[in-house]
Amino acid sequence: EVQLVESGGGLVQPGGSLRLSCAVSGFTFSDHKMDWVRRAPGKGLEWVGRSRNKVNSYTTEYAASVKGRFTISRDDSKNSLYLQMNSLKTEDTAVYYCARVVKGGSYSNFDYWGQGTLVTVSS
């Protein structure tokens, strides 16, 4: 059974940092690109960024709203994806989801998602 479990969310002050983790099981993690997507209260889904796999040289992409502040990384040996968030702003408050990109499918095809972890940025 495919499972994605996020952790690391919590309350942080503006300007602070937080590191989210996504532990996966039930599939070969190293075969897949993995993304972070968030949903702020009262807003829609927003793509945060992508971690490509070894075949794609572990490259990353980021949304303009987080570029330079957020860093996505992965550890294939631990079947885990990470999101390091620095210089947090109140508008980063959201539930953060990790999602699996379908292998060989379209680039926006996420077939499995985690339950999400809530990040609240407030003083």
Partner 1 sequence: QSVLTQPPSASGTPGQRVTISCSGSSSNIGSSTVNWYQHLPGTAPKLLIFSDNQRPSGVPDRFSGSRSGTSASLAITGLQSVDETDYFCAAWDDSLNGVVFGGGTKLTVL
Contact residues toward partner 1 (CB under 8 A) are 35, 37, 39, 44-47, 49-50, 61-64, 95, 97, 99, 102, 105-111, 113-116
CB of 77 to partner 1, least distance (A): 25
Q: Minimal CA–CA distance to 50: which of 67, 26, 23, 79?
A: 67
DSSP three-state, residue 96 = strand
Distance CA 122, CA 75 (A): 30
Tokens 């009262």 belong to residue: 42
Judged by beta carbon, residue 14 or residue 89, the one nearer partner 1 is 89
Judged by beta carbon, residue 6 or residue 88, the one nearer partner 1 is 6
The single-letter code of the amino acid at 36 is W
CB of 50 to partner 1, least distance (A): 7
CB of 105 to partner 1, least distance (A): 6
